[in-house]
Structure 1
Amino acid sequence: MTITYAHVDGLSSMTLSQEEPPADLAPGTVEVAITYCGICATDTHNYTSGGQVPPAVFGHEWTGTVSRVADDVTGLHLGQRVLACVGPACGACAMCRAGHADHCDLAFAEANGVAPGSPAHGGFAASMVVPARRVMPVLDALSDVEAALVEPTAVTFHAVKRTRQRLGAVVVVQGAGPIGLLAAQHARHAGAGRLVVIEPNESRRRAAEALGFTEVLAPGDAAREAVLAATDGLGADVLYECTGVAALLQPSAELVRRGGTLSLLGFPMTDSTVSYGDWQVRELTVVGSLAYNHEDFLGAQRAIADGSVQVAGLHTGTIGLGDLQTMLDELDSGETTHAKVLVDPSR
Structure 2
Amino acid sequence: MSELGDDDVTVDVDAWQGDACVGVVSAAGDRARQLLGLRVLVGTRDACGECEVCRAGGASVCLLAKARVRGKQTTAFARWVVPLQDGLELPVPAAAAVAGDVALAYTSYARTSVSAADSVVVVGKSPVTRFLVEILRAKGITPTVVVEGDDRAWTDWLAARGAVIAALATREDARAKVRDAIATQGRGVRPTRVIATSGASADLACQLAHRRGTLTLLPTALSGLDVGLAAQLEVTIIGVAREHPDLIVEVAAMCAKGEIDLAAGISLEPGAPTCSYVSIP
Structure 2 length normalisation: TM-score?
0.81
Residues 1:208 and 2:158 aligned together: yes
For residues 170-223 of structure 1, the C-alpha deviation after alignment (integer angstroms, 9 at most, x for no partner) is: 221111210111222223334324533424472444443454435263463555
Q: Is the 8 A contact 1:259 1:283 kept in 2?
A: yes
**What residue ranges of structure 1 are gaps of 5+ in the alignment?**
1-20, 40-59, 319-326
Deviation at 1:254, TM superposition (A): 2.2
Structure 2 Cα separation of the partners of residues 105 and 229 of structure 1: 36
Q: 2:92 aligns with which of 125, 144, 155?
A: 144
1:46 maps to none
Q: 2:259 aligns with which of 308, 322, 327?
A: 308
Residues 1:169 and 2:122 aligned together: no
1:29 maps to 8
Structure 1 Cα separation of the partners of residues 227 and 4 of structure 2: 53
Aligned residues: 271
Q: Assess, with a 3 A threshold, how the Cα gap between structure 1 residues 200 and 230 changes in structure 2: closer, same or farther.
A: closer
Structure 2 Cα separation of the partners of residues 314 and 179 of structure 1: 9
Structure 2 Cα separation of the partners of residues 76 and 155 of structure 1: 24
2:230 maps to 279
Residues 1:258 and 2:211 aligned together: yes
Structure 2 Cα separation of the partners of residues 219 and 75 of structure 1: 56
Q: Is the 8 A contact 2:125 2:273 kept in 1?
A: no
Q: Is the 8 A contact 2:202 2:222 kept in 1?
A: no
Q: Assess, with a 3 A threshold, how the Cα gap between structure 1 residues 210 and 149 changes in structure 2: closer, same or farther.
A: farther
Q: Is the 8 A contact 1:61 1:84 kept in 2?
A: yes
2:141 maps to 192
Q: Is the 8 A contact 1:28 1:72 kept in 2?
A: yes
For residues 246-270 of structure 1, the C-alpha deviation after alignment (integer angstroms, 9 at most, x for no partner) is: xx43432222222222111242565
For residues 276-315 of structure 1, the C-alpha deviation after alignment (integer angstroms, 9 at most, x for no partner) is: 2x43443222211111322211111112122222222112
1:8 maps to none
Structure 2 Cα separation of the partners of residues 194 and 178 of structure 1: 16
- SS of 1:179 mapped into structure 2: helix
Q: Counterpart amino acid of 2:51?
A: C
Q: Counterpart amino acid of 1:235?
A: R
Q: Assess, with a 3 A threshold, how the Cα gap between structure 1 residues 242 and 192 changes in structure 2: closer, same or farther.
A: same
- SS of 1:73 mapped into structure 2: helix
Deviation at 1:229, TM superposition (A): 1.8
Q: 2:39 aligns with which of 54, 74, 81?
A: 81
2:242 maps to 291
Q: Assess, with a 3 A threshold, how the Cα gap between structure 1 residues 253 and 219 changes in structure 2: closer, same or farther.
A: farther
Q: 1:70 aligns with which of 29, 51, 72?
A: 29
Q: 1:241 aligns with which of 196, 200, 205?
A: 196
Q: Assess, with a 3 A threshold, how the Cα gap between structure 1 residues 263 and 106 changes in structure 2: closer, same or farther.
A: closer
Percent identity among equivalent residues? 21
Q: Is the 8 A contact 2:108 2:216 kept in 1?
A: yes
1:101 maps to 56
Structure 2 Cα separation of the partners of residues 296 and 260 of structure 1: 25
Q: Assess, with a 3 A threshold, how the Cα gap between structure 1 residues 104 and 265 changes in structure 2: closer, same or farther.
A: closer
- SS of 2:237 mapped into structure 1: strand
Q: Is the 8 A contact 1:94 1:105 kept in 2?
A: no
Q: Assess, with a 3 A threshold, how the Cα gap between structure 1 residues 72 and 262 changes in structure 2: closer, same or farther.
A: closer
Q: How does 1:41-80 map to 2 (within 5 A)?
A: 60-78=19-37, 80=38
Name which one, 1 or 2, has greater alpha-carbon Rg. 1
Structure 2 Cα separation of the partners of residues 183 and 136 of structure 1: 21
Q: Counterpart amino acid of 1:284?
A: V
